[in-house]
Homo-oligomer: A and B are copies of this chain.
Amino acid sequence: MSKVLSSGSTIGILGGGQLGQMLSMAAARLGFKTHIFEPSANPPASNVSSGFTQAEYDDYDKLKKFASSVDVVTYEFENIPTGALDIIEKECEIFPSREALKISQDRLLEKKFINKLGFKTASFCEVSSQEGLIFALENLGTPSILKTRRFGYDGKGQVKLGATSNPKEIWESLGEKELILEGFVDFSHEISVIGSRSKDGQISCFDPGENVHKDGILRTTTVPANLTTQQKTDAVLITAKILESLNYIGVIGVEFFVANSTLIINEFAPRVHNSGHWTQNGCTVDQFEQHIRAIAGWNLGNGERHCDVIMENLIGDQINKTNDLIADGSVSLHLYGKVDIKPGRKMGHFNRIIK
């Protein structure tokens, strides 16, 4: 059993984006200080943290100094280089664990792990050569999706293959050795469960949210999701089983496809999740506080939902809708303070409470 942090301790966060920012504010609400580690200048989280180290993940001196100055380390994204974790681990505990991180970093390991637990994923084939791709296509047919095993997010690092796709061209264009081909899932809609597990094994899951993606990026999450009572229960139980199997500490986001009334797991992220932002206005304790409570060794909070909510992301130039949303006044706005507007960049989100 690892230590319980008292209010006043410092939480180190790898990554200074909006998730780090909201984690930092949740920590501050509980009386913690935070220290952000992030390669880029002026990240959103650095405006609400007591410490900020701007350095690359291969700057081991800075990493060591960072890790030795905090009481626990967590992260806002899963693509942290292994070398960085090796350094941190010598100074300080990291939650969620490296095991969870390792599995979620690799689509192949992740799917094998989920299947081993007895849960469904899309059918898949490992692809590490042009011949392998041809073989996989023969097995899974088209349409199917070729993805990089690692470092994909928001639809990046994936390409959809159809009947006329040329395996040779695609293999050469992707320029990537470690791939996975995923069979097409004919789903009606997508949902996710934000689960959390404390150091003493307590588990709490927020109500499943229904997600709409466009161009691979989450656009809206609506709670309650369109699910039968049985499906809702199953989604929560599956999430709980994943948390237990990994001996997980912190918040996890598990994404599902709903296909012919069956729940198929798409992927999970070992961190707070965009599809959990609705909890900021729908629950007494939101996903960010739940994560901080878990990694601090505290009891989890009550994640009960007290209203229906729609969360909508502001992507790229959708940030220009801000003036209308300010004038509207009835939504809870969360703007990340990012200066540069880029296509696909998450600039903010808003929650609308539905009576």
Contacts and interface: CB of A to CB of B under 8 A. Distances in A.
Given A28-B21, A331-B284, A337 B302 contact: no
Copies in the complex: 2
Interface string A36-60: 0000000000111110000000000
A150 to B, nearest CB: 32
A189 to B, nearest CB: 26
Given A47-B49, A307-B306, A334 B29 contact: yes
A95 interface: no
Interface in A284-303: 284-285, 293, 298-302
A24 interface: yes
A7 interface: yes
B353 A327 contact: no
A239 B30 CA distance: 32
Nearest to A32: B337
A329 B306 contact: no
A348 interface: yes
Contacts of A327: 299
B50 A50 contact: no
Nearest to A331: B284
A7 B302 contact: no
A288 to B, nearest CB: 12
B329 A301 contact: yes
Given A47-B49, A47-B50, A48-B24, A330 B301 contact: yes
Size class of the contact patch on chain A: 35 or more
Contact of A353 (B281, B306, B337, B348): B306
Interface in A272-320: 281, 284-285, 293, 298-302, 304, 306-307
A28 B45 CA distance: 9
A144 B33 CA distance: 45
Q: Which 3 A-B pairs have the closest CB atoms?
A: A31-B335, A31-B337, A302-B330
A313 to B, nearest CB: 15
A327 B198 CA distance: 12
Given A31-B336, A33-B47, A300-B329, 16 more contacts: A7-B335, A7-B337, A8-B337, A25-B28, A34-B47, A46-B50, A47-B49, A47-B50, A284-B330, A284-B331, A284-B332, A284-B353, A298-B326, A299-B327, A306-B353, A307-B307
- Which of A7, A285, A301 has most B Cβ within 10 Å? A7
Contacts of A299: 326-327, 329
Interface string A321-341: 010001101111111110100
A25 B31 CA distance: 13
Interface in A1-23: 7-8, 21
A29 B298 CA distance: 25
Given A48-B48, A332-B284, A337-B7, A293 B28 contact: no
Contacts of A339: 8
B329 A31 contact: no
A284 B281 contact: yes
Contacts of A304: 330
